[in-house]
Amino acid sequence: MKIGDTIPDLEFDIFQEDDIKKVKFSDFKGKWLVLAFYPADFTFVCPTELAELAGLHKEFKKQGAEIISMSTDSAYVHMSWHDTSPLVKKVKYPMGADPTHKLCLAFGTLIEKEGISLRATFIINPDGEVKALEMHDNSIGRNANEILRKLQAASFVSKNKGLVCPASWSPGKETLKPSTKLVGKL
């Protein structure tokens, strides 16, 4: 997946609020999606990230977004982890399961020799287009506040055509309007 690509309407299992069910990405049409791929359940960095996202879940929902965490574990493993980990117990958003690796392959996050996903985040608009993505080494945890800020910026520019958000922009701060006029000498 690259910026501007439309995500495929894949079907996958989720674990959410003591239930396992099949969903498709089209079930979330009309919402922003934050896909948070992570390597595996019962690991060290992953529960800290999932808990931090859970702590901001209401803020993501205020932006019209849903978070879906995603690993190559099954929904049953997600349920077991949720039941035993104090950090993961905080998660109320869908925990996506990709044991066949079809989602990791589609999004380009699979580490084939290990059968797990890289740590990656995709922000997808309500029409299913990728607006932001970040992928990095599995030893480096993400910052949920920064993911929320990027979502807010992506949402703002989609509603305010012709405006762009400068570095470290957050809601309420000044935006920019690009111009074709040159200012000063090059």
pLDDT tens for 72-105 read 999 999 999 999 999 999 999 999 999 999 999 9
Which of the two residues, 129 and 170, has the higher pLDDT score? 129
Residue-wise pLDDT tens digits, 3-51: 999 999 999 999 999 999 999 999 998 999 999 999 999 999 999 999 9
Q: What is the amino acid identity at position 125? A: N
User: Do the domain assignments include residue 181?
Assistant: no
Count structural domains, the chain.
1
Alpha-carbon span 184 to 186, nearest angstrom: 7
Contacts of 118 (CB under 8 A, 6+ apart): 37, 39, 109, 110, 111, 135, 136, 137, 138
37 SS3 class? strand
User: Do the domain assignments include residue 16?
Assistant: yes
CATH of the domain at 69: 3.40.30.10
Alpha-carbon span 27 to 62, nearest angstrom: 19
Outline where DSSP puts E strands in 72-163.
95-97, 110-111, 116-117, 119-124, 130-136
User: Do the domain assignments include residue 165?
Assistant: no
Q: Do residues 67 and 53 lie in contact, with contact meaning Cβ atoms separated by under 8 Å?
A: yes
Domain of 24? Answer: 11-142
Strand order in the sheet with 119-124: 19-24, 11-16, 95-97, 65-71, 32-37, 119-124, 130-136
User: Do the domain assignments include residue 73?
Assistant: yes
Active site residue 46: yes
Token pair recorded at residue 183? 């200012």
Residue-wise pLDDT tens digits, 151-185: 999 999 999 998 888 888 889 898 888 876 555 55
Choice among 46, 54, 104, 144 that is catalytic: 46
